[in-house]
Structure 1
Amino acid sequence: MASISSLGVGANLDLNGLLEQLAAAERAPVVALQRQQISYTAKLTAYSRLQGALGTLQAAASKLSDPRLFEGVKAGSSAADVLTAAGSAHAVPGVYSASVSQLAQAQSLVSGGRPSSTTAAVGAGTVSISWGTIAGGAFDAASGRYTGAGFAEDAEREAVSIAIAAGTTLEGIRDAINAKADAGITASIVNDGSASPHRLVLTSTRTGENASLRISVSGDDALQDLLAHDPAGIQNLRQTAAAQDAKLTVNGIAVTSQSNTVAEAIQGVTLNLLKTGASQVNLQRDTGSVGSAIAEFVNAYNGLQATARQLTAYNAETRSAAPLVGDGTLRLIQTSLRSALNTPQAGSLQTLSRIGIAFQKDGTLQIDSAKLTEALGSNLAGVAELFSTRNPGGGYGQQLAHLVEGFSKTDGTLDVATAGVKTSLKRLDERIVDAEERVAATVARYRGQFTQLDLMMSRMASTSAYLTQQFANLNLGGSGKK
């Protein structure tokens, strides 16, 4: 049987073109189904965009539902070079006077100078480090040592031991101390340029009076001479910086702190001390963050409306419609949200219009900034009740968040609509496969019939040519008779 590419040769007809036209006609229902498939796929994409816009709105509404948003305090310092302040929800608005007389610092000790190279062996033994408070006595700044002092060990911190192997150099001792994760000190080597220039410097990693160091050494004399240090006894190290607490007053009340980060000296406030001096700490409700959260909510709602307009648009010139024109699911979502935002709340403010938020003709929300600022300044508690769970009914924030969750959750409005479209697409896929098989079978039947026609016409043409030739020969023969 001849192939489709040779159809019509025998019959001298364009059977190949005719077959293509017939195949196209048979595929018309398939093309219609494919158009439906494209439409449903576009609808799925549209639902996905709608889901994203709803997610943004839900996040903004959930933020407003949290009463802690409305409890935030903004802290300011009149002398930011002296201290900075950060407030929490527990802070009480007001103005506080703070004066820093002393910063917390870590103790620093330095060894005697060594004339030899830092790579020369020092000694071997075990170094034990403990922490505590230096009590009483007198400190001589020139020698860097105490006389008549006592040492009260910190019972909450265990001593740390560091093994120093035989042949360890000054650099090796430094590295052994720094390699000990819980040593509580850092070690470095300085060169002071003298005849015995190399000195080991030890600095506590913690500030505060109870972070003073006592170093015991068991081992050879060289290691003891280098590191043994007891403020109440032998002091082979010289103190260059004392362990001390931060000292300040808040409204005339004396405060001490082991670090320069001072929490709760002012209720709900953390002070970060930078240098000695005085500053006024001003605490006020953080209405700016609340205003920003409300603006985010309005923008999220308007963003949802903009998405809805795009998904329901109709172009009269091209007569083309967006995927969700006339869609009942989207219409239900829009109606429900608007109804929720128009429902009055319990409390002093009750409606969005009382704080300067109103619906426009196009369905979007608009903020009157002056009115919102005035409401935040004069009745922040009322605004909190309007939006947050301080309201017995949950406020607009929780209500909108729950409403959107109902749309988006499994078996929710949007999920059901999406599932319906997916089911329709699956059925369309099955119908297209069946239709394509029917078209293929029909075209194959046409092809067979055309092939038979082509062969028959070819034989008839051959027979006609043969008969024509025979008749011609007979006529030639007859013309030769006498």
Structure 2
Amino acid sequence: MAAITPSTGVGYGLEISKIVDALVKSDTSAKSNQIARQSSNNSAILSGIGSLRSALTAFQDAMKKLNDKDAPSFNAFAGTSANESVVKIKTTNSAVAGTYDIRVSQLATGSKVASQQFAGGGTSAISEGELTISQNGKTYKVNVAAGSTLQSVRDQINKELSKEGITANVVNEAGGSRLVFGSTTTGKGSDISVGGIPELTIDGTQKMVGAGGGFIDALAQDAEFSVDGLKLTSSKNVVDNAVSGLSLELTGTTSPTATTGVKVSVTLDNDGLKKSVQSFVDAYNTLRKAVTALTTPTKDSSGNVTSLGPLTNDPTTRSLLSDIGKVIAEAGSGTQLNTLSQLGINTQKDGTLEFNSTKFTAALNDKKLGSEIQGLFTADGGVFDRMTKALDPYVKTGGSLDSRKTALDKVTKNLQDQQAALDRRTELLTTSLTKKYAALDTALGLMKKQGEQIVSIFDAMNAQAKKG
């Protein structure tokens, strides 16, 4: 509890509060100001480290988006389908510009088989034993314990085999329940057969008849389609090797009476490449500008420094800027295209990147470098790979930024401890000085009173003498 200092003494009338405050401030102000300055500086650096981490995270997210394997950027070609309910298309840099006529007569399907009917439904008892499920030359085993039911066997299969793409479910019909098996594996010859436990035995190549088991609608089948009249088959509905540089996803069938199939077009995508490159340049520049704002001192109109940035002269930040700058300047491993400058990307004096679209267009049209841009950015050892490795020592758990924050947090705790100690000293000193000056006030008050009494006595004596 803070000491209560009387404003004035009750004896002599000293201004005790003002005297004590002045003496306490004289004793503690230097230390108090030091703690305040250090705390303000430490808080600013902590805030700067947090802002730097946020900027780095945003840059990493931008690179991750541009490096998405499912929706690749930096692709020299763009593919379009006239009817995506029949076929979808993705292109790679090995594609060739042109158009293709795609017809799909059937999609690849997986095996769907069912056990015999169980009149007791899902709670029907299943014999103890080793259930075997065979597909494509592979056999999976499930140990069925005593007391198992149709439902518990279903649950056990899903728990143990779902990672293999095999699932089971209980389907209830009017005459009873069946254990139905399905698979994500498609293509001719991928039919499921079940054995090991008599009541669950299924020959997946035989059609289900009556209450017996077998395949439900049809055997597993390959996709059948044609490209410009050439008939092809595939065990999967995603076909990567039918046309060089194209990935076809078969999603439906074409009418057998149609005179033409679905038109698929592949064109050079210079605009898409330019947009992706610009996105990288923008993301990098946003990071550099954020770091510059954290490290640049504030100056007045005369050019005099009025305050430092929170990370001005910070060694971690200087090292970071150096490392990412090296990535931009380094050469990659491409055959014709191995530097960003070949695409019109150059570093400016302030560290940001300038993107010369005229030089970029020339690189695509005259030097035919479009097919190598993706590799320059996304290949192993490419810009994204090297940039990720450059950033990792700073952003990883326990990395430079974490260590920096930990050290700053310790400084914060130390300053808080110093302030607490100073507060205790201030309180004790205030109490001590207040007692001393209160005692002095009392003593001075007594002396004043005694002096007044003496003066009164002398005044009386003088008055008496005058009368005599």
Task: Normalising by structure 1, report the TM-score.
Answer: 0.62
For residue 353 of structure 2, the aligned residue among 350, 361, 365 is: 365
Residue 154 of structure 1 and its aligned partner are, at CA, apart by 6.6
CA change 1:108–1:458 in 2 (3 A) is: closer
CA change 1:164–1:267 in 2 (3 A) is: farther
1:379 aligned partner, one-letter code: L
1:39 aligned partner, one-letter code: N
Per-residue CA deviations over 1:193-224 (Å, capped at 9, x if unaligned) read xxxxx5767755145554557789999xxx99
Please state if 1:380 is matched with 2:380: no
Check conservation: 2:7, 2:18, Cα contact below 8 A.
no
Q: Which residue number in structure 2 is paired with residue 24 of structure 1?
A: 25
Show structure 2 runs of 5+ residues with no match.
Answer: 255-260
Higher radius of gyration, 1 or 2: 1
Residue 454 of structure 1 and its aligned partner are, at CA, apart by 0.8
Check conservation: 1:73, 1:284, Cα contact below 8 A.
yes
CA change 1:127–1:429 in 2 (3 A) is: closer
Q: Which residue number in structure 1 is paired with residue 87 of structure 2?
A: 83
Check conservation: 1:66, 1:388, Cα contact below 8 A.
no
Please state if 1:454 is matched with 2:441: yes
Check conservation: 1:214, 1:229, Cα contact below 8 A.
yes
Q: Using the alignment, how far apart are the partners of 1:309 and 1:361 within structure 2?
A: 15
How many residues are aligned here?
437
Check conservation: 2:327, 2:386, Cα contact below 8 A.
no
Q: Which residue number in structure 2 is paired with residue 323 of structure 1?
A: 309
CA change 1:233–1:164 in 2 (3 A) is: farther
Check conservation: 1:97, 1:280, Cα contact below 8 A.
yes
Check conservation: 2:207, 2:216, Cα contact below 8 A.
no
Residue 19 of structure 1 and its aligned partner are, at CA, apart by 1.7
CA change 1:252–1:161 in 2 (3 A) is: farther
Residue 243 of structure 1 and its aligned partner are, at CA, apart by 1.4
Show structure 1 runs of 5+ residues with no match.
Answer: 133-152, 192-197
Q: Using the alignment, how far apart are the partners of 1:189 and 1:85 within structure 2?
A: 40
1:30 aligned partner, one-letter code: K
For residue 138 of structure 2, the aligned residue among 139, 156, 175 is: 156
Per-residue CA deviations over 1:171-198 (Å, capped at 9, x if unaligned) read x96x57755626865443356xxxxxx5
Check conservation: 1:333, 1:407, Cα contact below 8 A.
no
SS in 1 for 2:6: helix
CA change 1:259–1:400 in 2 (3 A) is: closer
Residue 370 of structure 1 and its aligned partner are, at CA, apart by 6.0
Q: What is the root-mean-square deviation in Å for CA atoms of aligned residues?
A: 6.0
Deviates more, 1:65-74 or 1:17-26: 65-74
Query: Identity of paired residues, percent?
Result: 20
Alignment of 1:290-439 (within 5 A): 291-292=275-276, 295-309=279-293, 311-314=295-298, 316=300, 321-324=307-310, 327=313, 329=315, 332=318, 336=322, 340=326, 343=329, 345=331, 352=340, 354-358=342-346, 364-369=352-357, 371-372=359-360, 375=363, 378-380=368-370, 383=373
Q: Which residue number in structure 2 is paired with residue 8 of structure 1?
A: 9
Q: Using the alignment, how far apart are the partners of 1:73 and 1:294 within structure 2?
A: 17
Q: Using the alignment, how far apart are the partners of 2:132 and 2:328 within structure 1?
A: 67
Check conservation: 1:85, 1:270, Cα contact below 8 A.
yes
Alignment of 1:187-226 (within 5 A): 187-190=170-173, 198=175, 204-206=181-183, 208-210=187-189
Q: Which residue number in structure 2 is paired with residue 39 of structure 1?
A: 41
CA change 1:257–1:413 in 2 (3 A) is: closer
For residue 272 of structure 1, the aligned residue among 249, 263, 266 is: 249
Q: Using the alignment, how far apart are the partners of 1:284 and 1:399 within structure 2?
A: 30
CA change 1:294–1:59 in 2 (3 A) is: farther
Q: Using the alignment, how far apart are the partners of 1:217 and 1:397 within structure 2?
A: 52
Per-residue CA deviations over 1:218-253 (Å, capped at 9, x if unaligned) read 99xxx99xx998977994459762214132345655
SS in 2 for 1:205: strand
